[in-house]
Amino acid sequence: MREPKYKVWDTEKKTMSYYSLSGIRKCCELMSRYIVMQYSGLKP
């Protein structure tokens, strides 16, 4: 089963990207830079 992806807004680059939860945890020291928008395909 695939991990749900979160839609993430990068406030520095002004781009939208998708991260799995483990990807978000991996860069959690950068989380102030990112705004997690939502799960793609799932309601948060």
pLDDT, tens digit (0-9, with 9 covering 90-100), for 9-26: 777 788 888 777 776 666
Take residue 30 and report the two structure tokens written for it. 């950068």
Residue 17 pairs in a beta bridge with 8
What are the strands, taking DSSP E only, across 1-44?
5-10, 15-20, 34-39
pTM of the complete model beyond 0.85:
no
Per the model's pLDDT, the better-predicted residue between 13 and 41 turns out to be: 13
Other beta carbons less than 10 A from residue 40's beta carbon: 10
- Break the chain into its structural domains and give their ranges: 1-31
